[in-house]
Structures are given as C-alpha cells and as structure tokens.
Amino acid sequence: MPNIGFVKTSHKNVPSSFPIQYGSSGNVVIDLQQRLISIGHDISPDELGEYGQGTRAAVESFQYHRGLEITGTCTLTTWNTLVEACYRLGDRILYYTRPLMRGDDVADLQRKLSALGFDTGKVDGILGRNTANGIADFQANAGLHPDAICGYRTVAEINRVFFSRSSTELVAGIKDRERLRNSPKTLSNKKILIADGGGLGALVYAVKHQLVEANATILDISHPNGAIHASIANSANVDMCLSITLALDTDTSTIAYYAGHSYESPGGKRLAQLVVQHLKKYFDSAPIDCRGMSLPILRETQMTAILCQIGSSCNIAESMPSYANAISAAIAEWVVSPIE
C-alpha cells in the first residue's frame, strides 16, 4: 500500500464529527482525499485539504462502486467502508476478535477460501466465526497449525493453492442456494423480522398483519439504524429480514439486496426482484429500481435480507393496502421459489 501516513488508521481513529462534506477543509479532508486517491479515485481539480467538486465526485464514485447511498457526502458508513478498502490481504494478521475485523483483505481471504471449497459464509469482508472456521479448516488441510490465525504463512499457502486452481466458483453461493432449495415452502412458522427504518410504521404494521394471517411468526422493530436491524435479526435467528424506510427527496423506490466484493445474495436478489414485479402490478409507471447494495442491513445479516426504500412517487399514504399486498405476495412467492 502507498506509504502516505494513514494506512494504519483503524475504525477507532475516525474524525470527531460527520458528515464530511462539500465545503469542509483541513487535515480530515486530506486524510479522506489520500484514501480515495490510493484506491484510484481522482479528486482533481481540488487541492489537498479542500472538499470541492472533485472530492465530491470521487466520493460519489466510491459510494457507487461500493453499493452505498450515493450522496457525495462522507458519512460514517462511507468513512468506515473507505478505511476497509485500504487493506490488502497480507497487510495485517487476521483472526476472530471483538469487534470483528473488517476490510477488503478479509473479503479477499473469504473469496479465495470459498473458491477452494472452504465455507466462510457469504463474502462480506467481516471476519466472523464462519470465516475463522474456514481459516482453521484450510490450515488443517494444508498441514499448518489450525489456530484460525491468518498470518504470513497462511496467506502465502492460500495464494499458492488458489492461483494453481482454475475454478473460482464459491462454495458460499453453492451452500446458500442449496439451503434455500431445501427450506420449507410455506410461510407457516417462518420467522421474519420486519423493521421500520423511519416514516413507514403503518406499512410495517400492514405487512405484518398479512403475514401473521398466513401463520408466519413476525418480529417488528422501529429504529433508524440498519446495523441495529441486522444485529437483532441475527440474534433472533430469523429466516428472513425485511427493512422498510422512506426515501427522502427522491421519487424513485429502491428494492435492494446484498451485493459486494464480487458476491451477491441469491435469495436476496430473487426476493428483491419479486417485490419489484409485484409493485409494478400496482404502480406500473412509478420508478422502481432493483439494486445490489452493501448497506449494513444487507451486509451484516446472516440470512436473506432486503431493504425497501420507498420513494414519494408511490404516494404511500393513499396506496398503503396496495403496497402491503405487493410486499406480502412477493414474500409468499419467494418462500415457494426462493431462487431462480
């Protein structure tokens, strides 16, 4: 990595206030700009330390390629993702710890182990127990001490074996699709978390009511932070997670599923596509996108998850029953046919 004085910065060493945005200046902007430059995002014509049009365009480009909200403003989520993007496999020792290690080096490790047939869970750049188990399994198979600590010797052996193989199909995707194929094809007793991310509690209630009538077990929460939604969903070990939020200042609705680090959730993509299809039956002229993203609610959940960001063009206040019908019908169809 370029030796420009910031690469050792961790998630703990973050600016004292967010967002960092157009018009900001000083050392924090220099740090932001150097990180962007190091991974190929041009900030010209801005000078170092000045957050102008060039820096905003670079942030927008980074957000687009990382599946984040495209705002041109550096939020805490954007900052943390940028910190992660500066790590390369071999830069540091990787192991299971609290808080969990995150970074592009972790994602690269997961991708390579998964391509070699070792299950690390989905490729999300988060070193959890599944990834630690995958490291230990590889080490045992390679004749190394299976301590689940990925240091220089383990990285070197992973790279040696990985680059000698021709197939790069990920076992994570194979196992995810197999799990979905073998799941019960009924909503009865299906455990679903429905989260209100802000402004749409009535819609959450309407969807919950319809799914309860189909004998699903529903947990509902209201919190603006998608990472909280993911944490609760994981702790409750639900089968599916649905987060609904009002998209401010836009007419376009976005139905998002997890995609990142050259991996996408097969179940999440299928469910998101079904929600879009059913919404189009009621709102055929409304702009509705289906997009792979890497926001915390999608990245950090261990089960199929989607995020429904509802734009103003759907006129949700007057169309609540139609919207609830569309989402509920999509979930019911997904349970029967969870992958394409």
Judge if 188 and 64 occupy the same domain.
no
Render pLDDT for 92-101 as a digit per residue (tens, 0 to 9): 999 999 999 9
pLDDT score at 1: 29
User: Residue 289: CA atoms inside 13 Å, Cβ hemisphere, count?
Assistant: 12
Render pLDDT for 198-232 as a digit per residue (tens, 0 to 9): 889 999 999 999 999 999 999 999 999 999 999 99
- Based on the structure, what is the number of domains in the chain? 3
Q: Give the count of beta carbons closer than 10 Å to the beta carbon of residue 195.
A: 27
Judge if 138 and 67 occupy the same domain.
no
SS3 of 12-54: CCCCCCCCECCCCECHHHHHHHHHHHHCCCCCCCCCCCECCHH
- Residue 75 in any domain: the answer is yes
Take residue 216 and report the two structure tokens written for it: 């699903």
- Residue 178 in any domain: the answer is no
- Residue 113 in any domain: the answer is yes
Beta strands in 148-229 (DSSP E): 191-198, 217-222
pLDDT score at 166: 67
pLDDT score at 315: 72
Render pLDDT for 63-82 as a digit per residue (tens, 0 to 9): 999 999 999 999 999 999 99
| Mean pLDDT score, 147-154 | 97
Residue 313 is given by DSSP the state: G
User: Residue 178: CA atoms inside 13 Å, Cβ hemisphere, count?
Assistant: 6
pLDDT score at 14: 65
Q: State the Cα–Cα distance between residues 216 and 235, nearest whole angstrom.
A: 18
Q: Give the count of beta carbons closer than 10 Å to the beta carbon of residue 43.
A: 23
- Residue 175 in any domain: the answer is no
Render pLDDT for 16-64 as a digit per residue (tens, 0 to 9): 678 999 999 999 999 999 999 999 999 999 999 999 999 999 999 999 9
Take residue 335 and report the two structure tokens written for it: 């349970």
Q: How many residues does the chain have?
A: 340
Render pLDDT for 6-27 as a digit per residue (tens, 0 to 9): 444 444 456 667 899 999 999 9
**CB–CB of 216/192 below 8 Å?**
yes
Range of the structural domain that residue 151 is part of: 104-169
Identify the three-state secondary structure at position 314.
Answer: helix
**CB–CB of 150/135 below 8 Å?**
yes
Domain boundary among 169, 191, 217: 169
Q: Is 292 exposed, middle or buried (0-12, 13-18, 19+ CB in 10 A)?
A: middle
| Mean pLDDT score, 139-164 | 96
pLDDT score at 248: 78
Judge if 323 and 192 occupy the same domain.
yes
- Residue 97 in any domain: the answer is no
Mean pLDDT across the chain: 92
| Mean pLDDT score, 248-275 | 94
| Mean pLDDT score, 283-289 | 86
Judge if 14 and 131 occupy the same domain.
no
Does residue 267 surpass a pLDDT of 70? yes
Q: Is the peptide bond before 184 cis (omega within 30 degrees of 0)?
A: no
**CB–CB of 113/105 below 8 Å?**
no
Q: Please enumerate, as own/partner, the contacts of 44-51 that have beta carbons within 8 Å and a separation of 24 or more.
A: 49/25, 50/25, 51/20, 51/21, 51/22, 51/23, 51/24, 51/25
Render pLDDT for 294-327 as a digit per residue (tens, 0 to 9): 999 999 999 999 999 998 766 777 788 899 999 9
Residue 312 is given by DSSP the state: G
- Residue 93 in any domain: the answer is no
* Residue position matching structure tokens 């790279």: 159
Radius of gyration of the chain (CA): 21
CATH of the domain at 109: 1.10.101
pLDDT-based confidence at residue 91 (cuts at 50, 70, 90)? very high
Judge if 157 and 268 occupy the same domain.
no
